[in-house]
Amino acid sequence: MIQPAPTPCDADIVASLEAMALEAGRAIMAIFNCEFAVQTKADASPVTEADARAEAIILKSLRTLYPHIPCVAEEEASAGICPPDLGQAFFLVDPLDGTREFVNRNPDFTVNIALIRNGIPVLGVVYAPARDVLYSATPDGAFRIDTVKHEPRERRRIVVRTPATILTVVASRSHRTEQTNSYIQTCGAVELLSVGSSLKFCLLAEGAADIYPRFGPTMEWDTAAGDAILRAAGGTTCRVDGTPLTYGKRGQAGDCDFANPFFIAETKAR
């Protein structure tokens, strides 16, 4: 009698996600360090061979190790490929978050992989290969792992800080809107950091910033892994009405599948 495969524990899942992100980062940097072509998708966003190669690496591993968990990945979704039923758990993948930063030779790009359960990002990894740092949301909290040649080295737990008297606000380098600027003005005197990709969530998670307001378009694969890390470190990500940001949004009136509303990510309630 054939026995069903054992259900993997969350710690094992995180370990496999870390390995996938490191492998994808290695492939991305091989392209980053050479000349490469840039194409434009239907939504006018750039895409490169690095996006496609990293996504192929990640999806092959996910579908081999976890064949019963659906995957939603940016480039497949852009091509109209998406699971018909997500169920209670699914993976969200952005193989190269911050492609504009990548194209401009700025190191603020990341590999993002997250596991969503019942609409909540519970596990995830964010790897910034050009910065030699990997962030991980595990069952035991959030961690920062320094890397050398895409191999993990020192691992340390990270937690959010108590908000400073003068807030440190992180905002998008490439996609800041007037609505975001208007919100920042309501925070009073602030220190402003401009950072690309999901690293904004990670700065909050490791206690280097206090708030990340996003009043502009994002997709779930842009935010899920960073959001998982921030929540594991003790922070929150909420819609502007104060309700938690959720994932797996389909059939939205006036918006496309997996599009996020505006949100505010914070360390702790002020």
Q: What are 40's strand-pairing partners? A: 46
> What 3-state class would DSSP assign to 106?
coil
Which tokens in the block code for residue 268? 């702790």
- Determine how many CB atoms are found less than 10 A away from the CB of residue 202: 27
Q: What are 134's strand-pairing partners? A: 127, 145
Percent helix, strand and coil across the chain, each to the nearest 5:
30, 30, 40
Enclosing H/E stretch for 148? strand 141-148
* Buried b or exposed e, range 221-250, using 16+ CB within 10 angstroms: bbbbbbbbbbbbbbbbbeeeeeeebbbbbe
Q: In sequence order, which residues have a C-beta less than 8 Å from that of residue 113 and are 6 or more positions away?
A: 17, 20, 21, 58, 62, 91, 92, 93, 124, 125, 225
The answer to the question of whether 254 is labelled as a binding residue is no
The answer to the question of whether 251 is labelled as a binding residue is no
The answer to the question of whether 98 is labelled as a binding residue is yes
The answer to the question of whether 204 is labelled as a binding residue is no
The answer to the question of whether 51 is labelled as a binding residue is no
| Known binding-site positions for Mg(2+) | 74, 94, 96-97, 222
Q: Report the binding-site residues for substrate.
A: 74, 96-99, 222
Which residues carry a binding-site annotation?
74, 94, 96-99, 222
